[in-house]
Every structure is written in C-alpha cells, then in structure tokens.
A and B are shown apart, each in its own frame.
Chain A
Amino acid sequence: MRVAFLGATKGMGRALARLMAERGDSLCLLGRNPTDLQRSAADLSVRGAGAVVPCVPCDLEKPGMFAPAIDAARAALGGLDAVDVTAGIFATQDELEADPGLAERLVHIDFGNTVLFCEAAKKGLLAEGGGTLCVFSSVAGERGRKPVIIYGAAKAGLTRYLEGLDHKHHADGLNVVTVKPGFVKTSMTSALEPPPFAGEPDAVARQVLRAIDRGTPVVYAPSPWRLVMAVIRALPRAIMRRVGF
C-alpha cells in the first residue's frame, strides 16, 4: 500500500505508521516540521518502510500547501492508495474559553482546514481510481458535552463531512474510514486524568489498520467507546445539563 500520512510523527499517527512500515507499506510523510519528519522517516525506514521514506512539507494552518503536498506525495510514491490524517490539535474547554485566538485556531485546524485537506486528498485518490481516506475525528463530536464544547463541535463537523464524502464517493471507489478515538493515552492527553476504558495508541492503531484493510466506514477505538457513546447520545438533555462529562 502506498500511503500519504499527515500526522505520523506523534501519538496514534506514529503507532499506525509504524504498523504500516512493519508490514512493508510505502509511506510518504506530510508535516510542518522538516527535522521532526526526517526523524520519523528514519524510524519508519528501519522498521521496514523502505530505504527512503520521502517527506513533504505541509502545514494544516496553510491550505495553499494541501494540493501541492498531495501531488508531491503521489509523485514520490509513484501513485497513491491511501491518505491518513491523524494531525490536529487539542485544548481543554477552559483554555479555549480563556483564549479566543486559540479557539479560532483550533476550529480552523481541526475542522475547516482538515476538510480542505481531505478535499485535496479526495481528488488525489479519485485521480488514482479510488483508495482509502482514513481520518481521525473523535468521540467528542458525538454529543455536545461540557468539557469539550468547542473541540467537540469541530470534530462533529468533521465527522459529518466525512459521512457525506462516503455517501457521495463510495461508488467511485473511495473508502472513507472515520476513526473516533475515545480517550487514548498519548502526549496530547497526558495532562488529563485517564477515564475508564482509556486506550493505548498501539491497540488503537491495530484496530484502525484492520478497518483500513476491510474498508470499515466508522471505527470506535478502543471498541467499548461505541457502547459508552451510545449511552451518552441517549441521555436526555435534563441529565446532560447536570452531569460533568
């Protein structure tokens, strides 16, 4: 599989990229920090992604870079079978309320610009006759919840976008895989207290890779979160107003 990967340097993206490298997939890394990309490229290369893992500059805050980056990845890999997007930012509701600039940035990166990046990725994949677009959204987008109002809204928008993309292009050979991680122990969440069913990046990555291979449209990871979120979605407003989660 030839994969363009935005977000392979950290967290769940790093774990997923490593699994792909170890089974011999070809990877092209997209990201904003060239030194950091090179270090991950070296790591993935030793793990089996091939002698050279190409890196392409791409910053989620600069939409002008998206289409050229996808084109560069296609050229470097000699084609394209999948695009993975794990990049994004996180901030707590308190931080976002205290800093409107940060809130604006988060909504741009996690929603608006991720959508634009997916548009460029979609075009690239359709030009190859189809493929898999795997994007990390979040269970935070399943219900308006007090601790993740703004972050959750951005992810809710992203989830809806990916759903529509699947409806429109599935027949064209585009598999859209929407990953909804629950709480996963990564550096992004290291400041938070892990709740029950908190997952490890490796286990999540294995689940996601299976979904990519099978074309599963929606993945809750770790899987107990499917049930947890079903319950939370069913809670009446009167209860959601009272509880803290």
Chain B
Amino acid sequence: MVSEDLERVSADVCLSRGLGRSYGDASLPPEDQPNVLNTRLADRILSFDETSGAFRAESGLSLTELNRLLMPRGYFTPVSPGTSIVTLGGMVAADIHGKNQHKDGNFGDHVTSMKMRVADGSVIECSPTQHPDLFRATIGGMGLTGHILEVEFNLRRIPSQWIWQESRRIRDIDEFQDALEDAATEWPYTMGWIDCLARGKSMGRGIMMTGRWAESAEAPPKPPKKGFQPSLRFDWPSWVLNGLTIRLFNELYYRKQWRRKSSGIVSNQSFTYPLDAIHSWNRMYGRRGFTQYQCVLPREAGRSSAKRVLEVLTSRGGASFLCVIKDFGREGLGVLSFPRPGITLALDIAVRDDTQALVDALNEQVLQEGGRIYLAKDSFTRREHFEAMEGQRLDEFRAIRDRWDPQRRFRSAQSVRLLGD
C-alpha cells in the first residue's frame, strides 16, 4: 500500500515501512496480516528554519533527498547512518547511529517531536515532554508503537560538503580499540574496517577512518560532482563470493593502505555513504542474499570481548566480506535503542545453510559478554536469546506497548519472531 496521505490510509495497517532497506525482517509484515504501508510518497518538507536549523517533514522523506536539497545550502543531519537510502521514519524506528555516535549519540537524541497514529486510531503529537513514554518507545521501537507520520529534528550547519579524512593502518584488534578510543577525543567521525579473515596475531587488523568537516577555506571551491554511478543489474551467482575471493579482497583492501597513515579531502558522499556508490550492491550476494549481524559489547566486558566474538566467527569459518568496528559513547534515548557505551561489530554474512547456527553461536557469546544486537539488521536471532539480552528493557517496552496498544495492532514479522506477538 502506498499513498501520499498517510493519515488517511494508515488506520487499519499493522506496520509502516520506508525504503525497505533494513537488513532483516523488521519491515516485513507478519504472515497473517500481509499489508504494509509504504511511506515513501509521503515526503514533503513541512517547515525549515534556516537560522535555528529546525526541520520538520513527513516521515517518508529520504536522507538522499534531504542531502540533495540542503547540503548545498550548508545543512546536514546531526546523525547519519552509512547509507542515505533511508527515510526519516526509518531513522527514528531503528534509532540509527553513525560515525559520530561517540560524540553525538543516535538520531533519536536529536528528534524534538513526532506526529503519530496510535493504536486507538487517534493522531497525536509526542515529544520528550508530550507522551514521553510513547516517544521513548517509538525511538528504536521498530515501528511497533504506531505509524510515524511526521518527524521534527534539528539540522546542523556544515562549513562545506567535504570531509578532511585520515586513514590509518591498524595491526590487530587491541590496537584498534586503543586507536578508536584516542580518536574519539579529537575526531567527530570515526569508524574502522576489519579484515575478518586475519587470524592469530593479526586478528582484527584493518583500517581506521576518521574525519571532520573540511573548513570552506581548505575545501575545493566547487561542490562534489555526481560521478558515474554503477549499478548491479543482476544477482551474482553465489559462488562468486567464496572464501578465496573474500580473502583476496580483504588482502588488497588492507594493502591499499600501504602507508601507516594518510589523509586528504574527500566528498561527504564517499566518506559517509561508501556503499551507496554501487547501486544494488547487495545483489553481489546472489539469490540467497546475506544477513548482517551487529552487536555491541559493553565497556565492562573488557578489551578482549571483541576478540572473543571474532574468534567465534573465524573458528566457524564464517567469511564476512565486510566487517565494521566502532566505539559507542553513550546509551540511546529509546527504550530499545541499540547503542550503549562499548564497542560495536557489524558483520556482513552471506546466507548459507549454516547461517542460523553461526548467528546462534555469536549470540551465545554476546550474551556472555553482556551485550546486545541491533534489530535493524537482524533476521536470525532466536526469541530466547533476545529476551535474555534485553531483560528489563524489554519489560519496559512491553509495558508501554500494553498501555498504547493492548490489542497488539502493530506487528511485524520481526515482532512475531522476537517478542512473540
């Protein structure tokens, strides 16, 4: 179902979705209620104050469109995920984080107000002061508290559309965590790529990328050009990405950073959205596709926790094409927001017969470390694992759902799998 008028059509639908890019089943309907409301035509900007940056739009507005319109005018979202192919509604529902999580938190921390259609059919405004329980449960609530119709937040001024980037070669997982911790104090944007196939002493080797907005004086005078955008037009056969090709890619990518440290000016597009450069890159994984696994390991679990999780991956021969590491600085505002102070690992895993077993093993380890997983990416976690990870937070989420949606009108394939309703 798709319409410009969300308020009119959202009355009897159990779930909204934006651009359908969440990796798991969060935007899929439960089997017995096949209708989902697609918000992408509800994409009007409703107000924008150039002085304060205050911005309000319908929830289907995509970040691509927002960037296209307002980056040239010197404004950018306070928090951006690693793809711009997301809607504002999706950014709230997943309470997305970005390379500046250690400094600026999640997207939800910057939302000032939302208009929602809730289970009793009414359309209401919620904010940190108006229906704060609904507000907090909706941020990171994966669409299970109601339809998000409008989102209001504050845009930030940026000095240019360019980023001053520094990349550094990192020898192993311990050095990585030290480097991220050091970088967090001086860089607004940090993240790292890990070669997941490196074992033993060089386990966790990779490249750390840090960045800050380039001042207008150091930035090129012209805005970045929109270059050729390749697109994968068909699914690659599943044998293309095998242990060997992934090893080769990882080796080359690591060697590319042959200098210990390099720096320079890059466009925000290539720094913040590297994967958006290849349209439909996901087809690389063939017909069975891939899953992502992202967890956060709390600071209390100690330095070696990341190593233990990576060991689970490598010992099972789980080849991950892309593995990202990032430190989190603070807990999110949402009841079920994913980030907490600690270290996060995100792994791309091609779906094979043993994927369920691999995810189970990773979850067992994450549970032992006291960590949790990111719902926006999950499609394999078992309910008992999820409940054990979330504990009290899940009780609070259920209590708020009981208050606002006792009959469970809002559901998804993910809520059926992980929450049981």
A-B pairs with beta carbons under 8 Å apart, 29 shown = A9-B4, A10-B4, A11-B4, A22-B69, A36-B5, A39-B44, A39-B46, A39-B58, A40-B44, A42-B44, A42-B45, A42-B46, A42-B47, A43-B44, A43-B45, A43-B46, A46-B45, A46-B47, A46-B48, A46-B69, A47-B45, A47-B69, A186-B41, A187-B2, A187-B3, A187-B4, A187-B41, A190-B1, A190-B2
Additional 4 contacts, C-beta under 8 A, given A46-B48, A187-B4, A187-B41: A10-B4, A46-B45, A46-B69, A47-B69
Instruction: State whether the Cβ of A14 lies closer than 8 Å to any Cβ in chain B.
Output: yes
B7 CB to closest chain A CB (Å) equals 10
B35 CB to closest chain A CB (Å) equals 12
When each residue 195-212 of chain A gets 1 if its CB lies under 8 Å from chain B and 0 otherwise, what string results? 000000000000000000
Interface of chain B residues 1 through 31 with chain A (CB within 8 A): 1-5
Report chain A residues within 8 Å CB of B45: 42-43, 46-47
Classify chain A's interface size. Answer: 10 to 19
Would A190 and B3 count as touching, CB distance under 8 A? yes
Q: Which residue of A lies closest to B1 (CB)?
A: A190
Interface of chain B residues 30 through 67 with chain A (CB within 8 A): 41, 44-48, 58
B365 CB to closest chain A CB (Å) equals 45
**How many pairs of residues, A versus B, come closer than 8 Å at their CB atoms?**
31
B236 CB to closest chain A CB (Å) equals 25
Chain B residues within 8 Å of chain A by Cβ, number: 13
Q: Count chain B CB atoms within 10 A of each CB in A9, A43, A186 and give the residue with the most.
A: A43
State the 7 A-B residue pairs at the shortest beta-carbon distance, nearest first.
Answer: A43-B44, A46-B45, A190-B2, A46-B48, A43-B45, A187-B3, A10-B4
Report chain B residues within 8 Å CB of A36: 5
A192 CB to closest chain B CB (Å) equals 12
Would B3 and A14 count as touching, CB distance under 8 A? no
Bound together, the chains give a CA A93 to CA B1 distance in angstroms of 21
A87 CB to closest chain B CB (Å) equals 13
Report chain B residues within 8 Å CB of A187: 2-4, 41
B85 CB to closest chain A CB (Å) equals 15
Report chain B residues within 8 Å CB of A43: 44-46
Report chain A residues within 8 Å CB of B4: 9-11, 14, 187
Bound together, the chains give a CA A40 to CA B58 distance in angstroms of 11
Bound together, the chains give a CA A203 to CA B108 distance in angstroms of 34
Q: Which residue of A lies closest to B9 (CB)?
A: A187
Bound together, the chains give a CA A41 to CA B323 distance in angstroms of 44
Q: Which residue of B lies closest to A186 (CB)?
A: B41
Report chain A residues within 8 Å CB of B1: 190
Bound together, the chains give a CA A22 to CA B46 distance in angstroms of 16
Interface of chain A residues 172 through 199 with chain B (CB within 8 A): 186-187, 190
B388 CB to closest chain A CB (Å) equals 42
Q: Which residue of A lies closest to B43 (CB)?
A: A43
Q: Which residue of B lies closest to A9 (CB)?
A: B4
When each residue 45-58 of chain A gets 1 if its CB lies under 8 Å from chain B and 0 otherwise, what string results? 01100000000000
Q: Which residue of B lies closest to A189 (CB)?
A: B2
B274 CB to closest chain A CB (Å) equals 25
When each residue 14-46 of chain A gets 1 if its CB lies under 8 Å from chain B and 0 otherwise, what string results? 100000001000000000000010011011001
Bound together, the chains give a CA A26 to CA B2 distance in angstroms of 29
Bound together, the chains give a CA A120 to CA B58 distance in angstroms of 34
A214 CB to closest chain B CB (Å) equals 25
B44 CB to closest chain A CB (Å) equals 4
A194 CB to closest chain B CB (Å) equals 12
